[in-house]
Amino acid sequence: MKKLTSIILALIMLFALVACSGGNTQNEDTSAVSDTAAESATESIADTTPETEEVKIDNTLPFNITVISGTTGMGFAKLMSDAKEGKASFPYNFEIVSGADVVAPAIINGSTDIAAVPTNLAAVLFAKTKGEVQILAANTLGVLYVIENGETVNSVSDLAGKTVYCCQQGANPEFISNYLLTESGLKVGEDVMLDFTYNTPDELATAIATGTVDLAILPEPKVTATLAQNENLRRAINMSELWNEVTDGLPLIQGVIVGRKAFVEEHSAEVAEFLREYEASIVFTSTNKEEAADMIAAAGIIPKAPLALKALPFCNLAFISGADMNEPMMSFFNVLFNANPASVGGALPTEEIFYNAK
């Protein structure tokens, strides 16, 4: 009996061990299956997660673009060359004009979609169209310089007691010069005189090149062309650097790209692609100056390639878009409005003037 009991107890213990062993094996298998299932679930989720829908661009969309000859148009040279060779994203239709007075009606009547214009004209167009024109990007920083026939002026304080000849009374050169001189501690009309006897850039350039006057404020590329005519002339003051000083580092923006709001909103993807191409054109022009100079002359933006090549380092081409352009431009608009409200269309533009899509 004892022997039978011992056998029974041994069998019970054996069954218990097998049961425990079987339980552990089951747990390990379940764990392994769970890990695999988790991985499969993750892969399944990844497979079913919708990808970002690719934005479709209509590469057949024509862009009508008006470009003013001179500094505001120089950054278009590479894009114009690419378009001519069929390498651009769109069938761009470029028109080169000689002055801003031609651009305004073209934007207003819708015969052009995009234009390169002086910054203040963008504000005027915004006001005239009741907000139907927007600034897409800044393309030209400051282009004004004080040039001297002599060696007496090395800083703005050296202008005290002198007469400086300026062009375009009632326009940006006067407003910018007045502001910078005043902010530098000089009273215009008392400490320093601004004379507008030679009111066009061509007239003033001739006057200083021939030695009729000794100090003049001129824009590029007229400065480069004038310096080439008289070896005694030099750049005495960079007005852009002076602007940076008095505005705590804000750039002076004198040229921008504008677009009709209706066109921009209807073709936002295409406009974004245009801006990408235009930025690349700006970069090319700034880094491949000799080749760009030939393109600039070929397009009729500047009459001769050697002049374009010499002027390019001083034309301050740029590409500033999105929110980065708001503060410096609003600062400039404030200066212009305080000088003459009509220069920005009678009222300060609101921030709706900026196309801030990235």
Instruction: Give average pLDDT by consecutive 10-residue segment, the chain, 358 residues.
Output: 40 37 36 36 41 77 95 95 96 93 92 96 96 97 97 96 95 95 96 96 96 97 96 96 95 97 96 97 96 96 95 96 94 96 96 82
Q: Is residue 37 part of a domain?
A: no
Yes or no: say if 284 and 43 are a contact pair by the CB < 8 Å rule.
no
pLDDT at residue 30 in the model: 31
Q: Is residue 2 part of a domain?
A: no
CA 205 to centroid of chain Cα atoms? 29
Is the pTM higher than 0.85? The answer reads no
Yes or no: say if 236 and 147 are a contact pair by the CB < 8 Å rule.
yes
pLDDT at residue 55 in the model: 73
Q: Among the three residues 246, 277, 306, which one is the final residue of a domain in this structure?
A: 246
Same domain for 185 and 223, yes or no, is yes
CATH code, domain carrying 208: 3.40.190.10
pLDDT at residue 101 in the model: 86
Same domain for 156 and 237, yes or no, is yes
pLDDT at residue 99 in the model: 86
Q: Is residue 328 part of a domain?
A: yes
Q: What is the pLDDT of residues 134-182, one digit of tens each?
A: 999 999 999 999 999 999 999 999 999 999 999 999 999 999 999 999 9
Same domain for 107 and 158, yes or no, is no
Q: Which domain holds residue 169?
A: 144-246
Residue in the structure block whose two tokens are 């600034």: 135
Percent of the chain having pLDDT more than 90? 81
Q: What is the pLDDT of residues 286-305, one digit of tens each?
A: 999 999 999 999 999 999 99
Same domain for 134 and 195, yes or no, is no
pLDDT at residue 52 in the model: 52
pLDDT at residue 36 in the model: 36
pLDDT at residue 22 in the model: 41
pLDDT at residue 26 in the model: 33
Q: Is residue 342 part of a domain?
A: yes
Q: Is residue 48 part of a domain?
A: no
Same domain for 256 and 226, yes or no, is no
pLDDT at residue 242 in the model: 96
Q: What is the pLDDT of residues 27-44, one digit of tens each?
A: 333 333 334 333 433 343
Same domain for 229 and 96, yes or no, is no
Best CA proximity match to 114, nearest among 67, 161, 169: 67
Q: Among the three residues 208, 230, 246, which one is the final residue of a domain in this structure?
A: 246
Q: Is residue 96 part of a domain?
A: yes
